[in-house]
Amino acid sequence: MALYLFVTIIAFIVNFVLIVPFINFLYKLKMQRQNQETRDAFNKPTPIFDHFHKHKQGIPVGGGILIVITTLVLFILSLLLFIVLRRPIQSNYPAIFSEAKIIIFSLLSFSLLGIYDDIKKIFILPKQQHIGLRLRHKLIIEIILASIIAFWLFNDLKIDFVHIPFFGVIKLYYFYIIFAVFVIVAFANAVNITDGLDGLSSGVLMIALMSFWAVARSIVDVPTSLFIGVWLGGIIAFLYFNIFPARIMLGDAGALAFGATFAVVGLTLGKPFSLLIIGGLFVVEIGSSLIQLVGKKFYKSKIFPVSPFHLWLQLKGWPEPKIVMRFWLMSILLSIFGLMVAFMK
């Protein structure tokens, strides 16, 4: 366990040293949040969102890029360190390097999609009526990437089942690919939607990953344990600069990548049911947004005054730090409950 804690500390130090120069670099590139009218999926103005987020104008966007790069580099180096030290790289799967390949591809591919979306938001479409990639275009690309990942989970790691406490193992066979695609795309967008307040998504993700780290260590899965350890170090360093008032934001480059990879970690550990509990706040956030979209699409009216859930709390008068802190507390409780479920037979 000491070696995993060591890589987490190293990851924290590396990111903490690099993040201030990286923030300055983003300022030079003018990768900053723009003061412009945002639009929803139906190209309608979102004045409530604009009202509560106008003070974030000028904050650098793209902090996730640094975390993705350092996490990938340090993860690969830590695997090489295990090989050099002749430490056994144990895993639940015979295809150990396929497990690492899936994790690396998940983080990198969704990050590249997010980078493209961030660049398009800031530099290409600042005066047009929609922001970034259109929802349907983004979803198509996400589904393609998630399908590749899901196929590898099914074909390379031979995962074709889900474990539900008290009901046991349920074989899904080829339907597992569809299930995995849905989970990955859902969490990619859930974390992206949650990334609206300073320290919200990164703090909740940090807490949730600690739970999955405990699961990974309990089943002695070295690749996933190393990856989570490195990833956590980067997120903690980022969170130091992301808490209110934020000096840097994740952007889609980080939020999409982190959400998709979080789902992949839950799937590789064989705990999709616990994933829904441990990541419960992400589920609430995307659930409220999805219900709102359905209401606008089919009933031509809002179901809620505003969505997602954290924005509704702002509308009710809750200050931003209060919302974030209480989300963190709820995440701790959900993580404890999710861990309990994960260890049930």
- Which residue positions form the known binding site? 192, 252
Q: What is the per-residue DSSP string for 12-48?
A: HHHHHHHHHHHHHHHHHHT-B------B-TTS-B-HH
Q: How many CB atoms lie within 10 A of CB 9?
A: 12
Q: Does residue 305 have a cis peptide bond before it, meaning omega lies within 30 degrees of 0?
A: no
Q: Binding site membership for Mg(2+): which residues?
A: 192, 252
Residue 105's contacts (CB-CB under 8 Å, 6 or more residues apart) are 148, 149, 152
Structure tokens at 99: 């497990």
Structure tokens at 31: 């990768």
What's at 57, amino acid-wise? Q
Residue 324's contacts (CB-CB under 8 Å, 6 or more residues apart) are 197, 198, 199, 200, 203, 243, 244
Distance from C-alpha of 11 to C-alpha of 26, rounded to nearest angstrom: 21
C-alpha distances in Å from residue 77, one per residue of 73, 81, 108, 258: 6, 6, 16, 20
Distance from C-alpha of 16 to C-alpha of 14, rounded to nearest angstrom: 6
Which residues does residue 102 pair with via DSSP β-bridges, in sequence order? none
Structure tokens at 105: 């591809």
Q: 81: number of CA atoms within 13 Å, CB side? A: 13
What's at 309, amino acid-wise? F
Structure tokens at 2: 């000491």
Strands of the chain (E only): list them. Answer: 161-164, 168-171
